[in-house]
Amino acid sequence: MSQISNRPKVLLIGVNHKTASVDIRERLALKGGDAPAINLFAGLPQLEELVFLSTCNRVEVISSTKDPDDAKDAVKRLWMEKAGMDRGLIDSSLYSYEGRDAIRHVFKVASSLDSMIVGEPQILGQMKDAYRKAVEAKTSGAILNRLLNKAFSVAKLIRTETGIASSAVSISYAAVELAKKIFGELKGKKALLIGAGEMAELAARNLLSNGVSGLVVANRTLSRAVELAKELKGSAISLEEMESALLEADIVISSTGAPDFVLTGEAVRRVMRPRRHRLLFLIDIAVPRDIDPEVNDIDNVYLYNIDDLKGIVEVNKAGREKEARKAERMVDSEVIKFISWLETMDVVPVIQGIRQKAEEVRRNEIARSHSILRDLTPEQQKAVEVLTCSIVQKILHDPIICLKKETRDDGAKDILEAASRLFGLNGSGEDRHF
């Protein structure tokens, strides 16, 4: 029956900083593969729509599907194949949400309620970027278009109407806080920033506001490094010049999108002797990681990755809990509204079919009475047109209201099929006149 569909469900499957370590997250991000991750998942027939979200703290597949169980299995199998992970490790790391729970999770992520640092602003931009890529790849349709745009508006509403962002800090801010714990104060220290994206820029601004006197920006694209360094009154170098910059740096914060290490253990060992083994502090906030973990074995070198920032994050949690609870209530309210919209997806075509069928009958009966109506004045003919339209609307009013109300549960398909048969929308058999 063309009017009835098996309504797709929103399905979300992924990992975040709470369920998987950074090495697992970076493998699931699939950044080092032959094709962009979104293209790999788009090849799964079980996923009707798809948005692939990959950040330093989470990797998530947001989709719509008519068979969530089959879709989950397909996503897991793809990850096992492309990330080289066994099923046990996949199952122990992943979480999945369906329907209402998936919608709520998307809204919470966009609003930074599920972030390592509640209230941090980066996640919204990262989600918008993931959605833009899905639109460009033509993997997002009616459901995810509506879902993601609603998530963006919910996030904006929460940031406007709560104080959740008033004491919020970013990952970059937390990295600088960790540097302060190591050095005591940052006044007079020199910093090397590897990467010139948003995360790197935020880290640079936080470093400067805490007294760092010298800032060098290293980036694969030198023009971007020059642009950021000029804005922050620092200097710019290419990635090939990093070793010379390491000779002077006290603090290194790395945040690039490179698929492999940009700073190796061998490179760090080479600079430590001419540095006279002066303390070198490195924070790797990239996923996949930028800095070879082996550098932690070098004397007077201290490397921290994104998972190490969790302790700093905990300090600020108490002050945001009240505002977070208020934000959660706002999310719940918006989830209800979205569910109401989603539930209309099946009933709308049936209601349209009923109205079209009734209008067709009305027009046919007007045409049959043409020999009588043609003797009426134009004003009288118009009055008959208005009268018959009004009668049809009044007759259909109660059935349509009933359909909208009664199709918001698990029995919706049976009710819609019955309505289609009742009003002759099957497309088979002779038309019936009401």
Catalytic residues: 56
Nearest to 112 by CA among 389, 378, 320, 368: 320
What sign results for the dihedral spanned by CA atoms 72, 76, 79, 81?
negative
Give strand ranges (E) for 17-153: 49-54, 58-65, 95-98
Q: Are 278 and 173 in contact (CB under 8 A)?
A: no
* Contacts of residue 222, Cβ cutoff 8 Å, sequence gap at least 6: 236, 237, 238
Decide: helix, strand or coil at residue 255: coil
- On the question of a cis peptide bond just before residue 288, with omega within 30 degrees of 0, the verdict is yes
* Structure-token pair, residue 77: 């199998």
C-alpha–C-alpha distance, residues 399 and 170, integer Å: 53
**Backbone φ, ψ for residue 428 (5° rounding):** -130, 155
**Most distant pair of Cα atoms in the chain: their distance:** 108
C-alpha–C-alpha distance, residues 308 and 314, integer Å: 11
C-alpha–C-alpha distance, residues 423 and 418, integer Å: 9
Q: What angle do CA 388, 389, 392 make, to 5 degrees?
A: 85
* Contacts of residue 8, Cβ cutoff 8 Å, sequence gap at least 6: 48, 49, 64, 65, 66, 143
* Structure-token pair, residue 223: 């023009």
Decide: helix, strand or coil at residue 198: helix
Q: Which amino acid is located at 111 in the chain?
A: S
Sheet hosting strand 190-194, strand order edge to edge: 235-238, 214-219, 190-194, 251-254, 280-284, 301-305
* Structure-token pair, residue 208: 């400067």
Q: Which amino acid is located at 127 in the chain?
A: M
Give strand ranges (E) for 20-125: 49-54, 58-65, 95-98
Helix 99-110 with 317-368: angle, nearest 10 deg: 130
* Structure-token pair, residue 245: 């910059």
